[in-house]
Structure 1
Amino acid sequence: MKKTKTSLARKIFIVFDYLVLIFLAVVCLLPILHVAFASVSDPNWVMNQSGLILKPHGFTLEGYKLVFQTRQLMGSYGNTLFYVFASTALGMLITVLGAYPLSKSDLLWSNALMLIISFTMMFSGGIITFYMVVRSLGMYNTRLAVILPTCVSAFNLILVRTAMATLPKELEESARLDGAGPIAVLFKIVLPLIKATLATVTLYYVVANWNSWFNASIFLTDRDKYPLQLILREVLIRNDTSSATSASSGELAGLADSYKQIIKYCTIMVASVPILCFYPFVMKYFKKGVMVGSIKG
């Protein structure tokens, strides 16, 4: 078989494309390496550095030890895991149950419903209205205020709905002829065929819920309910580790103060590594899932 000859312009484009991708990869990787190396470096040396840290200077895990000894921080870590699991599970359930009927062309007022859902992506009642609704429903200073109001994304629902609409109707008709009901068709026929899209949407929900802090900042007053990102925000913005440190002994308190900068880096790593580890498990579905949901509207 004769190979197609690549033109000079095509070769130049490929080289330029690779250079741009390599540059973007380096730009994304450098901050991660800087934080990772700084978190295990000598604290006094880190305090005197002003540029990027591309290798550890000395090696110490004392910063991580202090972070994991912090009751407030580890409590917020547990809160975040609960919020992520609950919001993602509830969001996926509502997304699937909402997308399935909307994917049917014979659904009454389906176009009007999709218009209303799409409208919420561009316009909202504003933060004041949002606050008043949550407070009037009795969810203020409760975990429900973090989980319920934003558990469903209109974009994700449209993505799943579009993926379902691309499936051949004959599959469902055949299953119903065999006696399968709507629930059986959904969970045994439809969902297995769009698992790539479901994995992609799950990734969207997990990342969004893991990084969420704004709702908690305006609805929660009890620090025992704070998510990890809200504690991390306090550490980084206020430049104060006292609110996130529970060390009571004088020796440990003094050590925590001298490790102030290191604690910041360690906290960032502790907050970022779990979500970075989650991505490889759904990476193989990511591209396919997005493309399946974009074939037609």
Structure 2
Amino acid sequence: MPTNVFFNHAVATEQHLVEDLIVESLRMYGHDVLYLPRQIVEEDTIFTEDVQATFGDAYSVEMYLSNVEGYEGQEDLATKFGVDINDDAEFIMSVRTWERFVSLDSNLVVSARPNEGDLIYFPMTGHLFEIRFVSDPDPFYQLGKIYVFKMQVSLFEYSGEDFDTGTSADLVEADQAYTIELTMTGSGNYTHGENLTTVIDGVTTTVGEVVLWQPQANKLTIKDNTKTLQIGDVLTGVTSTTARPIGSIVDVLTFENLSSAQNKDFEDKDSNYLDFSEVNPFGEP
């Protein structure tokens, strides 16, 4: 027996009213965050995962943080590799905001909803969260329509991604990326964020990106280093056209000379156990 034709549970005016109330509530009680779509530069076709990714766009949208009593997850755990921070949360975003401000981005795998793997920057805490799961039919078709996306997120672990959004989200890369500090000679000023090139075997090659330039101390901090630099190499800024030779190189990740450090002892003693003159020192020839 068919349903009664005189009753309609999906009245457009009522749907718009509910949606207006939800959007207004999110703008009243939510937070301004940045949505960063992931752009896959290189993909592993075997494991179907991104080998190298970049984030070049950032959209300012409002989201509601459901976790009012703190982050979820296993929180902080002491492991053999150090302290592992597992902070999970749930963000809620309106479908209307998504369609108006984010859905037209060309880097989205699926434009109909937020994508797993994209990032959310929370300015209040300065943290980046990675979207793990998106629940779209919740609430389940109230008055015959979906109004919000619920996103399960976890704290983002930086692993060499490139951030060029021009927002405060780029500070995550500046703080956690592997960098090299150089003392430059000559004259001229570099520009923050510009690429650096040098001539290697007669070929102009990009060797890094400027993270910090201290003109008074002539100290240049670079990231995304692709070549082994040597004292005397001339680094040219693509934007500023400044060309200055390297006076000295300081690796900021070099271990300090601590009395408790044993890395040098292991390096000296491993030659007594492994013969690297063989083709396969770890097994049978």
Q: Is the shorter-chain TM-score for this pair beyond 0.5, marking a shared fold?
A: no
Higher relative contact order (CA 8 A, sep 6+): 1
Q: Which has the larger radius of gyration?
A: 2
Q: Which has the higher helix share?
A: 1
Q: Shorter-chain TM-score: what band? A: under 0.3
TM-score (norm 1): 0.21
Q: Which has the higher strand share?
A: 2
TM-score (norm 2): 0.21
